[in-house]
């Protein structure tokens, strides 16, 4: 009989605790508004572009990269940390452009607290001993002709001329 009374009392305490917790959550202040990223807060993240799924499979995961992730790319930092890019206008190129795979890279952008995501702004790829800067153009994309247009913006034409002189 005492065991039954103890169980009922424990159940009553548990229900009360859940009710109080739910009530406290209802009355808890709303979380602070998150401050939007600012241009001046950009950082540089160095590493190598890798296939995220294939890298995770090397670490023991059953990533099924070919089936689901389609070899989406991320950044393997020098300390072994694996970063994912936010898939937006500027990050999409880093995720999908296969010619970047295995290349040393420096991504300029923002990291968000408690995440493994980087929002990319631009990037540098090592070409020999030189770091070549790639930035997004609303007309041309990251690379001339990426948007299938035949005309380049004046800035990309100038960059193309600089590339030709550098060869």
Q: Which of 108, 130, 110 is nearest to 47 (CA)?
A: 108
The predicted pLDDT at position 124 comes to: 95
What number of other Cβ atoms are within 10 A of residue 102's Cβ?
13
The predicted pLDDT at position 23 comes to: 47
The predicted pLDDT at position 36 comes to: 83
The predicted pLDDT at position 24 comes to: 47
- pLDDT string in tens for the chain (167-residue length): 565 555 555 555 554 544 444 444 456 566 677 778 888 999 999 999 999 999 999 999 988 887 777 899 999 999 999 999 999 999 999 999 999 999 999 999 999 889 999 999 999 999 889 998 888 887 777 776 666 666 777 777 776 655 555 44
- Given a contact cutoff of 8 angstroms between Cβ atoms, the answer to whether 152 and 140 are in contact is yes
The predicted pLDDT at position 32 comes to: 72
The predicted pLDDT at position 163 comes to: 54
The predicted pLDDT at position 140 comes to: 76
Domain ranges of the chain: 39-148
The three-state (H, E, C) secondary structure of the chain, written as one string: CHHHHHHHHHHHHHHHHHHHHHHHHHHCCCCCCCCCCCHHHCEEEEEEEEEHHHHHHHCCCCCCHHHHHCCCEEEEECCCCEEEECCCCCCHHHHHCHHHCCCEEEEEEEECCCCCEEEEEEEEEEECCEEEEEECECCCECCCCCCCCCCCCHHHHHHHHHHHHHC
């Amino acid at each position: 009989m005492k065991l039954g009374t103890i169980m009922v009392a424990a159940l009553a305490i548990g229900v009360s605790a859940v009710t109080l917790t739910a009530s406290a959550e209802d009355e808890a202040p709303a979380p602070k508004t998150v401050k939007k990223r600012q241009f001046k807060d950009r950082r540089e993240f160095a590493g190598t572009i890798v296939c995220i799924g294939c890298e995770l499979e090397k670490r023991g995961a059953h990533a099924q990269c070919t089936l689901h992730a389609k070899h989406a790319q991320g950044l393997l930092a020098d300390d072994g940390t694996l970063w994912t890019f936010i898939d937006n206008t500027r990050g999409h190129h880093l995720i999908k452009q296969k010619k970047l795979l295995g290349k040393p890279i420096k991504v300029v952008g923002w990291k968000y607290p408690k995440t493994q995501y980087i929002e990319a702004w631009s990037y540098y790829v090592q070409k020999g001993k030189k770091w070549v800067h790639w930035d997004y153009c609303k007309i041309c994309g990251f690379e001339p002709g990426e948007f299938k247009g035949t005309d380049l913006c004046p800035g990309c034409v100038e960059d193309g001329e600089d590339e030709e002189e550098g060869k």
